[in-house]
Amino acid sequence: MLQGQAAIVTGAAQGLGYAISKAYAADGMRVALLDIRGDLLDELAAEIRQAGGDPLPITVDLSDAGETQRAVDAALAHFGAPRVLVHNAALLITRSMREITLADWQMEINIILQAAFILSKAVWQPMIDAGGGSIVYLSSGSGYRGFIEEVAYNPGKHGIEGLMKCLALEGKEFNIAVNCATPGAPINTPMSAQNYTEALKQRWVDPALLTPAFLFLARQDAAGLTGHRVAARSDGSWDAINLL
Ligand SMILES: NC(=O)c1ccc[n+]([C@@H]2O[C@H](COP(=O)([O-])OP(=O)(O)OC[C@H]3O[C@@H](n4cnc5c(N)ncnc54)[C@H](O)[C@@H]3O)[C@@H](O)[C@H]2O)c1
């Protein structure tokens, strides 16, 4: 079912987004790869093309509203309505309330939450016109619990879960599934390398192991799973909690 269909994945250059993008391309999807790291995107696009895929790398700073709009417009112009949008990019600046600046706050909130809004709004009508689609936001334990020194990341992830719940309700009428996903295992990514304890690094896994849940989510519409937080496990399974 995914063969030949389009996906938009943000934060595609590294970490979990790289793994999701490769998994979608391996399943025959045409993937728009969005990230600020254009150098790494070109490498990923070359890998996908070598394997017979048809990717579209788009370098974009998702903290900037205009750039984000132009990037998603370019993806839509090239591929048409995506079967799935995965907003996976995020930035975690660990600073206390005494240290964090307004600029830090805006950067994190814009990448996590503002970009989620702009991207979702851009694909919403094309998905309606296409008869349905699936939107996935990467959440985190930080989407439902409090963590110290996550002054912007913590509310950003809470916000993305709120947007998910609202759009999942509205999406029912239009056959659009909207869900959040979290890593259900410690993953070996650049973000984790910066923030994990040594104990967690002892048992982190390749994020590629978590991708079956994202293939499942790409196939969803409102008749399937929507309004859930899906924890992707490293054995290829997942847990889903209904948040509606
Ligand atoms: N690593 C974990 O243990 C963990 C845990 C819970 C949730 N998550 C979430 O999973 C997702 C992926 O995490 P990860 O560990 O792969 O992160 P990562 O930092 O390793 O990768 C994030 C990607 O986003 C890109 N990015 C950052 N700022 C950007 C910007 N301004 N514009 C465009 N792209 C930008 C980066 O270049 C990078 O390719 C994130 O949403 C994160 O919050 C991760």
Q: What angle, 0 to 180 degrees and rounded to 10, lies between the N-to-C axes of helices 115-130 and 153-171? A: 20
Q: What angle, 0 to 180 degrees and rounded to 10, lies between the N-to-C axes of helices 211-218 and 15-26? A: 60
Residues annotated catalytic, as ranges: 153, 157
Type of residue at 237: S
Tens digit of each residue's pLDDT, the chain (244 residues)? 899 999 999 999 999 999 999 999 999 999 999 999 999 999 999 999 999 999 999 999 999 999 999 999 999 999 999 999 999 999 999 999 999 999 999 999 999 999 999 999 999 999 999 999 999 999 999 999 999 999 999 999 999 999 999 999 999 999 999 999 999 999 999 999 999 999 999 999 999 999 999 999 999 999 999 999 999 999 999 999 999 9
- The pLDDT, as a whole number, for residue 1 is 84
Cα of 91 from ligand 1 centre, angstroms: 6
Q: Evaluate whether residue 1 is within a structural domain.
A: no
Token pair, residue 49, equals: 């093309």
Q: Which residues contact 96 (CB under 8 A, 6 or more apart)?
A: 148, 149, 151
Q: Evaluate whether residue 223 is within a structural domain.
A: yes
Any bridge partners for residue 193, and if so which?
Answer: none
Q: Evaluate whether residue 72 is within a structural domain.
A: yes
Q: Which residues contact 116 (CB under 8 A, 6 or more apart)?
A: 87, 137, 160, 163
Whichever domain contains 24, its CATH number is 3.40.50.720
Q: Evaluate whether residue 90 is within a structural domain.
A: yes
Positive/negative CA dihedral, 169, 76, 160, 187 = positive
Cα of 191 from ligand 1 centre, angstroms: 6
Q: Evaluate whether residue 118 is within a structural domain.
A: yes
Spatial distance between the Cα atoms of 155 and 210, rounded to a whole number of angstroms: 25
* Cβ(35) – ligand 1 distance below 6 Å: yes
Task: Give the closest residue to 137 by CA, choosing from 85, 83, 61.
Answer: 85
* Cβ(36) – ligand 1 distance below 6 Å: yes
Cα of 90 from ligand 1 centre, angstroms: 4
Q: Evaluate whether residue 69 is within a structural domain.
A: yes
Q: Evaluate whether residue 200 is within a structural domain.
A: yes
Positive/negative CA dihedral, 93, 15, 229, 163 = positive
Q: Which domain holds residue 166?
A: 6-242
Cα of 205 from ligand 1 centre, angstroms: 16
Domain count, the chain: 1
* Cβ(234) – ligand 1 distance below 6 Å: no
Question: Please, are residues 161 and 181 in contact by the beta-carbon 8 Å criterion?
Answer: no
* Cβ(48) – ligand 1 distance below 6 Å: no
Spatial distance between the Cα atoms of 70 and 115, rounded to a whole number of angstroms: 12
Q: Which residues contact 126 (CB under 8 A, 6 or more apart)?
A: 76, 80, 81, 82, 133
* Cβ(182) – ligand 1 distance below 6 Å: yes
- The pLDDT, as a whole number, for residue 21 is 98
* Cβ(114) – ligand 1 distance below 6 Å: no
Best of 61, 110, 138, 191 for a ligand 1 pocket test (most atoms within 8 Å of beta carbon): 191
